[in-house]
Amino acid sequence: MKSPLQRDLTPLQKDFIYKESEFGADTYKPLPVVLSKGSGVWLWDVDGNKYLDMMSAYSAVSHGHSHPELIKVLREQSERLVLTSRAFYTETLGAFLEKLTEVSGFEVGLPMNTGAEGVETAIKAARRWGYKSKKIPPNKAEIIVADQNFHGRTTTIISFSSDKESKENFGPLTPGFKTVKFGCIDSLQSAITENTAAFLVEPIQGEAGIVIPDPSWLPKVRELCTEKNVLLILDEVQSGLGRTGKMFAYEHSSIRPDGLILGKALGGGLLPVSCFLSSKEVMQWFTPGSHGSTFGGFSLAAAIGKRSIELIEEEQLAQNSMNLGNYFLNQLKEISSPIILEVRGKGLWIGIEIDTKIITGRQLCKRLLTRGILSKETHDSVIRFAPPLVITKKEIDWALEIFKKVISEIETEQQN
C-alpha cells in the first residue's frame, strides 16, 4: 500500500483542472487531484497514483467503487430497459419499493433522484398532510428545522439553511420554516404551534461536522412530536443505509420517525437514487399530477437500488461499519496532539475537529492527499473520515499510520 510521494501537479493534471475550471461554474473547491479510476476503497489519478478514499462521495459510495455485483446489474438492466418515465408500469420499480419498505418498515415510498429532491418531496408531503389531515388553515403550515442543518441546495431548502453563503443573493426565499437549536428539546417545544406540520432534522448532522446529539434527545423529540401531532421526518441521505453502524441512524435511539429520506448509497455509487418513505396515512394525499419526476424510480435506478439494499444485508456492511468504526474512532481518540481538538463519530462516519490556528482543514487534507489519503474539510475546522463500508482493518491501520505521521510532521514544523 504505497502512497504517492509529495509532488507538484503534472502537466496532464493541470490540463484537466484548467478545463474544468475554465468551462465550469465555480461552485466547488476541489482538492488538486484528477481522478480517473476507482475500485473498492481505492482511487487512482490520471498519472497512476493510488489513494485511499476516505470520503465515499459523501456516503454515496458505501459499497465501494464499481462493486462487481452492481456493475453486473447495471450492464444487464441497461441492455434490457433503462427509462420509460412513470407513464407506464415497469417490472423493476415494484420490486425495489417492496424491498425498501421491507427493510425500513415504512408502508409507502416515493422514489426520486437526488437527496435534495427527496427532501423537497418530504416537505410537500408534510405540508399536504398538515392541510388535509391536521386541518391547518390554508398556507399557514410551518415546518421546523434545526440550526446548522444541511438538506440540499434547492431554492426552498437553502431558505431554511443557517449558512449565509448558501442563500446570499438567491432571494426572495421560501417562507414557512422555523429554526431551533439542534439537540435542544426546549427550543423545539417552544417553536411548535397549532400550525406546525413537521420537524425535519438529521439524526446526526454531517455537513455541520459530524455533530452527534445527546442520546436522550431523539427519544424526547419523538415523544413531543407524537404529543403535538407533528410529523417527525428524518433526513438520512448521508447517515442512512449502514453508514453509522446501523441500517438507519435513528435505530441507535430506538425510535421510529414518521417519514424517512434516503439517497446517496441507495444508488450504489452508480446513479442518483433517492426516496421518501412514510405511512399510507401521510402518503395518501399524493394524487396523480401532484408530484413526480421523469427519472424518479426509472427502471435502471430501481434495479440498482434494490441490489444496493440487498448487498448491504448480504455483506453485513452495517455491522462492518459498527465494528471497524468503533476501532477507528478509538484509535483516533488515542492520538495526543494539540492539533486535534475533538474526535467524534458513529460507525464509519468520523469528524476530526482541528485547531485552525495551527493548520486549516484544507491544508491538512492537502497534506493527506500527498500521502495517499483523500478526505475533505467542512467549515475548514473539521476533516471527515467516511470510507466505503467495505474497508478492512488492514486498510484502516494503514490510514491511521499515515495520519499519525502527517500530524507528527506538522507538530515538528511548529516547533521549528
- pLDDT tens for each residue of 309-327: 999 999 999 999 999 999 9
Q: What share of the chain is helix, strand, coil (3-state, %, to 5)?
A: 40, 15, 45
235 is catalytic: yes
Which CATH number among 3.30.70.330, 3.40.640.10, 3.40.50.720, 3.30.70.2740 corresponds to the domain 68-314? 3.40.640.10
Find out whether 373 and 398 touch, Cβ atoms under 8 Å. no
Closest by CA position to 278, among listed 66, 122, 59: 122
15 is catalytic: no
Return the amino acid letter for 371: R
User: Residue 2 has what pLDDT?
Assistant: 40
User: Residue 332 has what pLDDT?
Assistant: 98
Please give the distance of CA 152 from its chain centroid, rounded to a whole number.
10
Find out whether 32 and 366 touch, Cβ atoms under 8 Å. yes
Helix (H) or strand (E) holding 343: strand 340-345
Q: For the chain, give every domain's residue range.
A: 11-60+322-415, 68-314
Helix (H) or strand (E) holding 16: helix 11-23
- pLDDT tens for each residue of 282-300: 999 999 999 999 999 999 9
Q: Which sign does the torsion angle of CA 109, 115, 121, 127 carry?
A: positive
Q: How far apart are CA 47 and CA 55, in angstroms?
A: 21
316 Cβ contact partners less than 8 Å away, ≥ 6 residues apart: none
- Per the DSSP assignment, residues forming a β-bridge with 234 are 201, 260
Which CATH number among 3.30.70.1520, 2.60.260.20, 3.90.1150.10, 3.40.50.10090 corresponds to the domain 11-60+322-415? 3.90.1150.10
Helix (H) or strand (E) holding 116: helix 115-132
DSSP label of 197: E
- pLDDT tens for each residue of 103-153: 999 999 999 999 999 999 999 999 999 999 999 999 999 999 999 999 999
Find out whether 107 and 101 touch, Cβ atoms under 8 Å. yes
User: Residue 292 has what pLDDT?
Assistant: 95
Burial label for 382, CB within 10 Å (0-12, 13-18, 19+), is buried
Of 96, 160, 220, 235, the active-site residue reads 235
Residue with cell 423529540: 221
394 is catalytic: no
The dihedrals phi and psi of 52, each to the nearest 5 degrees, come to: -85, 125
pTM for the whole structure: 0.96
Of 178, 220, 246, 264, the active-site residue reads 264
Q: How far apart are CA 205 and CA 212, in angstroms?
A: 7
Report the chain's mean pLDDT, rounded to a whole number. Answer: 96
Average pLDDT on 177-187 reads: 98
Of 150, 160, 298, 328, the active-site residue reads 150
Q: How far apart are CA 293 and CA 296, in angstroms?
A: 5
Q: How far apart are CA 243 and CA 349, in angstroms?
A: 6
Average pLDDT on 208-223 reads: 98
